[in-house]
Amino acid sequence: MQTRELGIAGAWELTPRQFGDERGTFLEWFKEPELTGLTGHPMALAQANCSVSAAGVLRGVHYADVPPGQAKHVTCVAGAVLDVVVDLRVGSPTFGRWDSVLLDDVDRRAVYLSEGLGHAFLSLQDGSTVVYLCSQGYAPEREHGVHPLDPELGIDWPRTGRDGRELTLTLSGKDEQAPTLAQARAAGALPRSEAVREFTEGLRAAAGRPRR
């Protein structure tokens, strides 16, 4: 498996080796030893989610309070999505910045994002199926969002799908009502970089790994 750290600390692109023949394809999309080597601690597995989206469906930007936050390991098993990671950690050198990875059923990449980071994706074709592992289960009182079309974030969402047709962006009612980055920060709703660092250092200490 090849790994590449994204432009935001705590997020990685993971590209598996694929083994194919006339019967089909085999790959390992999650490998705990490799991930632990990147993060310094094992990923707790509390929940696995599956999301199927029509072309143009935009989900996010979602994040959870830290502690305990919610780390995610995300891949697209059918179709294609633009997967986006946003640094929502107040005090981080890259606060407010984003990076993206194309996840599809060709290269079959995955993205891992640590606690405190925001996550969103845009479906580029009908039936795009995203599956992701979560370090914490669903807890609505701890989960929040930032509007994915906030001009301050300036995320460059594609306007055409995988087939070249124009996309009509579709958001849930909850995501439509999400605050901007500035509003969420003013309300004290965003994770603080120091709290995230203390939490992840605690995970590494529990795993017997040195601080970074």
Q: Which of 74, 76, 174, 62 is nearest to 125 (CA)?
A: 76
Residue 119 known to be catalytic: no
CA distance 120 to 85: 7
Residue 132 known to be catalytic: yes
- Tokens 């301050």 belong to residue: 152
Catalytic residue among 41, 62, 144, 147: 62
SS (H, E, C) the chain: CEEEECCCCCEEEEECCEEEECCEEEECCCCHHHHHHHHCCCCCCCEEEEEEECCCEEEEEEEECCCCCCCEEEEEEECEEEEEEEECCECCCCCCCEEEEEEECCCCCEEEECCCEEEEEEECCCCEEEEEEECCCCCHHHEEECCCCCCCCCCCCCCECCCCCECCCECCHHHHCCCCHHHHHHCCCCCEHHHHHHHHHHHHHHCCCCCC
Catalytic residue among 41, 132, 144, 147: 132
- Tokens 């799908």 belong to residue: 161
Question: What residues are labeled active site?
Answer: 62, 132
